[in-house]
Homo-oligomer: A and B are copies of this chain.
Amino acid sequence: MTPRAPDPARRNERSRQAILSAALDLIGELTYPKVTIEAIASRAGVGKQTIYRWWPSKAAVVFDAFMMLNKGGSSEVVLPDTGDFAADMRVVLHATVAEFADPRYASAYRALNTDVQDDPALAEQMLARVLRPTLEAVKERLRAAQRAGQIDTGIDLDVAIELIYAPLYHRWLLRTGPMTTAYADQVLDLALRALRPQ
């Protein structure tokens, strides 16, 4: 209740933001293996121990830095529902293409995709906090489309969501070709042929 009470919390929050921003800056500037906790601390103007007080590893810092970019860290994903499943999915996939085209988002997400390969626990966390919210929102939208007779009710929706999303990740992660809205539209058109009632 003293006037000075909020200061440490605010100072902590300022340091936290500075550390996450420094991590994002360095990931964009250097190749990821060259980004160290020391470099992040130095760029953020804090001591290395400040980072280790809040995060156990570089991967943990990167995860929170990515979450700061990823819809402000919200795990609430709601898809548009105009009644036209194809049009709604097109909006969502174009947003995904735009995210991948943002260098700051893309370099942080590549770093995160690197870290999870070696760390199944982190992969589980990424699945729960990054991938599942979007995939589940798409699944919810697919269920509505099933009720509206636009999607075959016999379809396994867990497979359906990967049929729609996986080609985008595949193209971006493995750099198999240009990552464009035209590509997203082609994928969606094919996926819709697979998913519609027949």
Which residues in A have some Cβ–Cβ distance to B below 8 Å?
31-33, 110-111, 113-114, 116-120, 123-124, 126-127, 131, 135, 155-156, 158-160, 162-163, 165-167, 169-171, 173-177, 183, 186-187, 190-191, 193-195, 198
Q: Complex formed: what's the CA distance from A40 to B98 in Å?
A: 41
- Residues of B with C-beta under 8 A to A159: 167, 183, 186-187, 190
Q: Could you show 28 A-B contacts with beta carbons less than 8 Å apart?
A: A31-B118, A33-B33, A113-B173, A114-B114, A114-B118, A116-B174, A117-B173, A120-B175, A124-B175, A127-B175, A135-B176, A155-B190, A156-B186, A158-B177, A159-B183, A159-B187, A162-B167, A162-B176, A162-B187, A163-B187, A165-B170, A166-B169, A169-B169, A193-B193, A193-B194, A193-B195, A193-B198, A194-B194
Tell me how many chains of this kind the complex includes. Answer: 2
Task: State which of B155, B166, B198 has its C-beta within 8 Å of the C-beta of A166.
Answer: B166
Known contacts A110-B117, A117-B113, A167-B159: A123-B174 contact under CB 8 Å: yes
Q: Complex formed: what's the CA distance from A159 to B114 in Å?
A: 25
- Residues of B with C-beta under 8 A to A124: 175
Known: A162-B170, A166-B166, A193-B193. 7 other contacts (CB 8 A): A33-B118, A110-B117, A117-B173, A127-B174, A155-B190, A163-B187, A166-B167
Residue of B nearest to A33 (CB): B118
Min distance, Cβ A29 to any Cβ of chain B, angstroms: 12
